[in-house]
């Protein structure tokens, strides 16, 4: 039977037992290394070494390992609980380097003394908001969503210098995706190509911080749309070469590789090279048919076989293959899901263009009016551009009743004010 004295003696021993290097353990967990083995693998050392560092008397690391350790955990050795032996000058510059690195890539400039390392959960929380914005893009008005996305990016810029290791990489990747979404809204929805160009640059810089070449490939391909839309084929091709180079640095899914073909095809179509574009689309179809063992990234939600068919229908239209374009686009319209309102307006606009080119203004106006109905529910600048292009083609028929009815809708108070305000 234990006496009260023996119980108290044991409790005192437990309280007085050294807790080890709690600073290093906390920094390890904050950087996303859930176990000692995970940190050991990242540094290329044995797990016994990490255990010694987390003991109550951690030995001072060798210079090469010390640099790797401070780089992985984002703090200098003294902040990590190490006591500098005589004759060794501690390195106080790691936090300053973190802040300077972020500032150098245009992300954030945080005063060194303000940096406090974030827990590993910060990356999950930040990613959750990024994921929500990605889903909201398909239903929320772009002018409403865009400020929220930019505010989230600003938060990511502030968090980045406060993290290290895996946590830093995860936040940087989510930040890159956030900037990519902002750039897409600016280019496709707000029609501000100059601003989108700068935003895509920030996205690419964040992807570099995350060392995520597939996300880098997606950003570069999006940036190719900008010169492609203005007919600058050389610049568009150069960016697509860079995008494909990045995509080769990691195992890429069939969907991502096919999308790269589709983007290049769109640029070639805009530059008047429809034969090259159709060849690229044919290659994309083959890539999708063969498939791949690699899964698509979660953020690749803007592409599917149906979207590829929409690219194809537009290229067939621009190539003058009207019967083929009509068949392709009608098939796309039947297969588009209820949540793909933005793409629906583009397809309806292309179908209107097919009928206008075929000399059927009544059918062209019917499709254009359906596109305007859809635009009233979900605004999309690309869809409105398609309708306006059709109206220009219908200029020889502007005195016909169907075209006048289209004008009444196209230049109504609501539509005109909405168009001018975006």
Listed residue (158, 242, 255, 154) closest to 204, CA to CA: 242
Tell me the torsion sign for CA atoms 40, 44, 48, 49.
negative
pLDDT (0 to 100) of residue 116: 55
With contact defined as beta carbons under 8 Å apart, do 118 and 163 qualify?
yes
Residues sharing a CB contact under 8 Å with residue 348, sequence separation 6 or more, in sequence order: 333, 367, 368, 370, 371, 374, 383, 386
Backbone angles phi, psi at 31, to 5 degrees: -85, 0
Nearest-angstrom CA–CA distance, 126 and 118: 12
With contact defined as beta carbons under 8 Å apart, do 312 and 318 qualify?
no
CA distances 338 to 104, 252, 299, 342, Å, are 43, 28, 20, 10
Nearest-angstrom CA–CA distance, 289 and 63: 52
CA distances 82 to 21, 32, 141, 406, Å, are 8, 20, 53, 75
- What angle do the packed helices 254-270 and 274-290 form, to 10 degrees? 170
With contact defined as beta carbons under 8 Å apart, do 238 and 221 qualify?
no
- Beta-carbon count within 10 A of 55 CB: 14
DSSP state of 55: S
pLDDT (0 to 100) of residue 301: 95
Listed residue (118, 91, 105) closest to 211, CA to CA: 105
pLDDT (0 to 100) of residue 14: 41
Lookup: tokens for 74: 């984002």
Q: How many residues does the chain have?
A: 422
pTM of the predicted protein model: 0.76
Lookup: tokens for 130: 């990024």
CA distances 329 to 301, 356, 381, Å, are 20, 15, 19
CA distances 332 to 2, 205, 304, 323, 344, Å, are 80, 36, 11, 14, 9
Each residue's pLDDT tens digit in the chain (422 positions)? 444 344 334 433 443 445 688 778 877 876 778 788 988 888 888 989 989 998 888 898 988 888 888 888 877 888 888 887 765 555 544 444 334 434 443 444 434 333 456 777 889 999 999 999 999 999 898 999 999 999 999 999 999 888 888 888 999 999 999 999 999 999 999 999 999 999 999 999 899 889 999 999 999 999 999 999 999 999 999 999 999 999 999 999 999 999 999 999 999 999 999 999 999 999 999 999 999 999 999 999 999 999 999 999 999 999 999 999 999 999 999 999 888 999 999 999 999 999 999 999 999 999 999 999 999 888 899 999 999 999 999 999 999 999 999 999 998 765 555 555 54
Residues sharing a CB contact under 8 Å with residue 225, sequence separation 6 or more, in sequence order: 187, 236, 263, 266, 267
Helix/strand/coil for 61:
coil
Listed residue (47, 49, 41, 43) closest to 65, CA to CA: 43
With contact defined as beta carbons under 8 Å apart, do 166 and 70 qualify?
no
Chain CA centroid to CA 215, Å: 6
Nearest-angstrom CA–CA distance, 239 and 264: 10
């Amino acid at each position: 039977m234990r006496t009260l004295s023996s119980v108290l003696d044991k409790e005192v021993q437990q309280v007085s037992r050294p807790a080890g290097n709690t600073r290093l353990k906390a920094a390890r967990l904050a950087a996303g290394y859930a176990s000692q083995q995970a940190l050991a693998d990242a540094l290329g050392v044995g797990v016994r070494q990490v255990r010694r560092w987390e003991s109550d008397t951690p030995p001072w690391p060798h210079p090469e390992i010390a640099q790797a350790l401070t780089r992985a955990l984002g703090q200098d050795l003294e902040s990590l609980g190490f006591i500098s032996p005589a004759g060794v000058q501690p390195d106080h510059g790691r936090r300053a380097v973190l802040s300077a690195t972020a500032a150098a890539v245009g992300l954030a400039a945080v005063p060194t003394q303000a940096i406090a390392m974030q827990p590993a959960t910060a990356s999950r929380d930040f990613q959750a908001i990024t994921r929500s914005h990605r889903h909201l893009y398909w239903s929320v008005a772009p002018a409403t969503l865009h400020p929220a996305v930019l505010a989230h990016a600003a938060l990511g810029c502030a968090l980045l210098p406060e993290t290290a290791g895996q946590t830093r990489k995860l936040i940087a990747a989510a930040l890159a995706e956030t900037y990519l979404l902002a750039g897409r809204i600016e280019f496709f929805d707000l029609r501000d190509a100059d601003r989108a160009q700068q935003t895509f640059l920030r996205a690419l810089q964040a992807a570099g911080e995350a060392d995520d070449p597939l996300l880098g490939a997606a950003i570069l391909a999006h940036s190719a749309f900008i010169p492609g839309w203005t007919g600058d084929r050389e610049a568009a091709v150069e960016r697509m070469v860079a995008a494909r180079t990045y995509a080769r640095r990691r195992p890429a899914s069939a969907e991502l590789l096919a999308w790269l073909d589709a983007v290049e095809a769109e640029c070639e179509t805009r530059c008047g090279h429809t034969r090259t574009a159709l060849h690229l689309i044919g290659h994309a179809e083959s890539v999708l048919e063969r498939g791949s063992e690699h899964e698509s990234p979660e953020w690749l939600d803007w592409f599917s076989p149906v979207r590829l068919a929409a690219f194809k229908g537009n290229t067939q239209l621009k190539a003058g293959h009207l019967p083929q374009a009509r068949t392709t686009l009608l098939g796309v319209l039947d297969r588009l899901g209820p949540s793909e309102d933005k793409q629906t307006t583009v397809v309806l606009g292309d179908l209107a263009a097919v009928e206008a080119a075929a000399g059927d203004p009544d059918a062209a106006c019917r499709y254009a009016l359906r596109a305007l109905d859809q635009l009233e529910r979900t605004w999309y600048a690309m869809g409105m551009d398609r309708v306006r292009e059709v109206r220009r083609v219908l200029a020889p028929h502007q005195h016909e009743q169907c075209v006048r009815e289209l004008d009444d809708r196209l230049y109504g108070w609501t539509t005109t004010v909405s168009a001018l305000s975006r």
